[in-house]
Amino acid sequence: MLDRIRIVLIGTSHPGNIGGTARAMHNMGLADLALVAPRCEPLTSETISRASGADTIVHGARRAETLEQAVADCTLVVGASARSRTLPWPMITPRTLGARLPKELSGAESRVALVFGREDSGLSNAELQRCHAHVHIPTNPDFSSLNLAAAVQVLAYECRLAWLAQQEEPEGSEAEPNQPMASHEELEHYFGHLERTLIAIGFHDPALPRQLMARLRRFTLRARPERMELNILRGILTATEKQVASAQDGPRHESDDSDTPSP
């Protein structure tokens, strides 16, 4: 289970935090680290010193330019956030996150990403809206922001507790494996397709977005669609696009005909 949990750091600016993250991960038995557009050289003497022997995790880290690339194959993406945002999103506690992991990771292709933001500005709204849920570590409301590596430590510890609890369960009591869930990449293709179709049928005006796509994202991500369910939705969109195209073709032919002078 721990092998299929990815820690994703976005735009990190202090190498010490990358080293501290590697140490926290290795202590808790996690190994999959992704660095998205770091704003510092990830491997410095400070990284090595803060990693205290866990720098192999930094050496083996995935590198990505965007969050999408780093989590494309993940079936559950959870963003760690120190504060609430304008459009409220499903919010879970670290303990609830841990409790969900065994079932989430029971399918052969499932993979979970825990996403952490920049030291100075956290995660952007666009990044947060690409997550199924947000996790907030309960802290003093007057001083809520943890050091990045400390935040990773808390969530990595919850992952380990959940894994240990699973080891203690008698064999055969594991949750039934789920149907394959839609991956982040499949969901992003769906959202792109949905937006194009909504524009084509005149329901969505990108010049006046009114958070429509963000609300549809939140609704869809909350439903946790399986791959097959998402394929049905995409089939509906494709059929809608065909109808729109033939409706547009129809009148054009008629007007073409009417413009044609009679012989």
Positive or negative: CA dihedral 163, 169, 171, 176: negative
Stretch that binds ligand SAH, among 20-28, 81-89, 163-171, 229-237 (CB under 6 A): 81-89
Report d(CA 67, CA 110) in Å as an integer. 18
- Extract the runs of DSSP E, i.e. beta strands, from the chain: 5-10, 32-36, 62-64, 76-80, 91-92, 112-116, 133-135
Q: Does position 123 bind ligand SAH by CB under 6 A?
A: yes
Q: Could you tell me if 92 and 221 are in contact, meaning their C-beta atoms sit under 8 angstroms apart?
A: no
Kindly list the distances between the CA atom of residue 67 and the CA atoms of 37, 147, 237, in Å, as whole numbers in the listed order: 9, 21, 26
Cβ-based neighbours of 149, under 8 Å, separated by 6 or more: 16, 17, 19, 20, 21, 23, 24, 50
Site for ligand SAH contains 178 (CB under 6 A):
no
Query: Minimum CB separation from ligand SAH for residue 17, in Å?
Result: 8
Smallest gap from residue 216 Cβ to ligand SAH (A): 25
Tell me, by CB under 6 A, how many residues bind ligand SAH: 19
**In the complex with ligand SAH, which residue's Cβ is closer, 87 or 232?**
87
Per CB under 6 A, the list member of 47, 81, 129, 197 interacting with ligand SAH is 81
Closer residue to ligand SAH, CB minimum distance, 158 or 186: 158
* 3-state DSSP assignment of residue 183: coil
Indicate which single residue of 99, 146, 161, 237 sits in contact with ligand SAH (rule: CB under 6 A): 146
Listed ranges 53-61, 65-73, 74-82, 189-197: which one lies at the site for ligand SAH (CB under 6 A): 74-82
Under the binding rule (CB under 6 A), the answer on residue 148 touching ligand SAH is yes
184 in Cβ contact with 72 (< 8 Å): yes
89 is an interface residue for ligand SAH by CB under 6 A: no
Q: Which of 50, 122, 162, 225 binds ligand SAH (CB under 6 A)?
A: 122
Instruction: Verify binding: residue 92, ligand SAH, rule CB under 6 A.
Output: no
Is residue 119 near ligand SAH by the rule CB under 6 A? yes
Q: Do residues 116 and 172 lie in contact, with contact meaning Cβ atoms separated by under 8 Å?
A: no
User: Which residue number, 146 or 200, has a Cβ lying nearer to ligand SAH?
Assistant: 146
Strand order in the sheet with 5-10: 62-64, 32-36, 5-10, 112-116, 76-80, 133-135, 91-92
The binding site for ligand SAH (CB under 6 A) comprises 80-83, 116-117, 119-123, 136-137, 139, 144-146, 148, 151
